[in-house]
Structure 1
Amino acid sequence: MAVLQTAAQLFNERGFHSTSLDDIAAQLHVSKPTLYYYVKNKDEILLQCVSKGLEMTLEGIEASRAAGGNAVEQLRACMRVYADIVMQPFGMCLIRVGDQEVPEPSRTKLRQMKAEIDLSFRRLVEQGVQEGLLQASDTKMAAFVIEGALSWIGRWYQPGGEYTPQQIADRCIAILCDGVLRRPKRPAKSQ
């Protein structure tokens, strides 16, 4: 696991193509031949890192759904899980490096896992509309916007920045759920 954590960190900082197996070995204070005991090549390391990020996301979404509540409560919980994971090394790796760097047939498997995440968000949005709690007229587009906005956190987030991961997740979820437009205050009804 140390190999994967170190690799994910380096991929996030330097990029996949700018990180060599020598870099990973040096960071771990081991020789390059020692790395080959654990992995075949850099592509395999990337595949494992991205897979780990996807698995964490799918498990978190499933746990959020299993916790129950109405569609909005479940959606917020899933958004929280997703935002939290994209600020962690494996989640960042998933977002920053992506599956286009992964060779086939692994790329297809990763894209299927991503499709499962998308489907989970779509189902929650559709359920929210059916329950009368959400007004999304295009549930597919709403799911894409939610996922896209939360994914983008993994691109710009820097540990030790102005906001904690908790604050970032809270603020992003609030903006996505409440919007940015000021709503006119309705006059109080007289009795």
Structure 2
Amino acid sequence: MAGRTKLKETPPWVPFEDRRRARDEKREAVLRMAVKMFLTEGYHRTTLNEVAARLNITKPALYNYFRSKEEILVECYRIGQDTYDAMIEALDSLDGTGLDKVRALIRAYVKAITSEFGMCVTRLDERELSPEARASVRRSKRGYDTAFRSRIEEGIADGSILPCDPKLAAFAIAGSLNWIGHWYDPDGPLSAEAIANEFAERLTGGIAAH
């Protein structure tokens, strides 16, 4: 009797970690496509049908990851906020004068605002969010303002920044930086780093002590 060949069978179940990783990757793909469309087409003009079509999936498949367009928007804002918060936290231990720290904060802020999710925080209308999500975004924005003010105050104290109103100076800097998110083109002639360095010099030229 001829020996039987023992077939190796591959279990049909994918390991849990692989399933979770695949789900996370697909969820991130939905977010990246949605934020790209929100920024280029506008939140109201973007439909979940269009997002699903761009991803080559069905709308019901998209609901496996998000229950609504608003939920996607909230998550885009959250990722954008986390980007800014991480940027500020990374500068907490920075040495140097107050002026050095303001310039470093400007460079970091530009890096954050030129990312897709960072642009979301300044370009999309936060009034589209639920009251709870909107309050969270506004708290974060106050945190960015406080970060600029405190470093300007530090510079005034150590003599690296001329005496000025820290609140108005912070508004002037943040207002200029926020507009970058409206005109920055990642395929344009200027890199985010070049823009960051230029703005760090130009926006502090009027307050730097010489």
TM-score, normalised relative to structure 1: 0.89
Q: Tell me, yes or no, if structure 1 residue 159 matches structure 2 residue 161.
A: no
Quick check: 1:50–1:98 contact (8 Å CA) kept in 2? no
Other-structure match for 1:113: 140
Bigger radius of gyration: 2
**Is 2:123 the counterpart of 1:127?**
no
For the 8 Å contact 1:60–1:81, the answer to whether it is kept is yes
Residue 59 of structure 2 corresponds to residue 32 of structure 1: yes
Shift of 1:98: 3.5
Equivalent residue, structure 2, for 1:49: 76
1:19-41 per-position Cα deviation (integer Å, ceiling 9, x unaligned): 11112111222111111111111
Give, in angstroms, the shift of residue 15 of structure 1: 1.0
CA distance in 1, matches of 2:166, 2:73: 32
Taking a change above 3 Å as real, the CA distance of residues 136 and 157 of structure 1, as seen in their structure-2 partners, is farther
Which consecutive residues of structure 1, in runs of 5 or more, have no partner in the other structure?
A: 184-191
CA, structure 1 residues 136+83, in 2 after alignment: closer, same or farther (shift >3 Å)?
A: farther
Rounded to whole Å, the distance in 2 between the matches of 1:136 and 1:64 is 23
Equivalent of 2:201, from 171, 174, 178?
A: 174
The answer (yes or no) to whether the contact 1:125–1:136 under 8 Å persists in 2 is no
Structure 2: distance between partners of 1:176 and 1:153 = 13
Q: Which of these residues, 161, 173, 176, is aligned with residue 149 of structure 1? A: 176
Shift of 1:69: 2.5
Q: Following TM superposition, where does structure 1 have runs of at least 4 consecutive aligned residues deviating by more than 6 angstroms? A: none
Cα distance in structure 1, aligned partners of 2:114 and 2:163: 27
Does 1:6 find its partner at 2:33? yes
Structure 2: segments with no counterpart, 5+ residues:
1-27
Residue in structure 2 matching 1:72, options 79, 99, 106: 99
Q: Distance in 1 between matches of 2:62 and 2:138?
A: 27
Aligned AA for 2:185? Answer: Q
Supply the distance in 2 between the matched residues of 1:136 and 1:85 (Cα, whole angstroms). Answer: 29
What amino acid is aligned across from residue 195 of structure 2 in structure 1? Answer: I
**Partner in structure 2 of residue 81 of structure 1:** 108
Question: What is the number of residues matched between the two proteins?
Answer: 180
Q: TM-score, normalised by structure 2?
A: 0.81
Q: CA deviation at 1:136?
A: 4.5
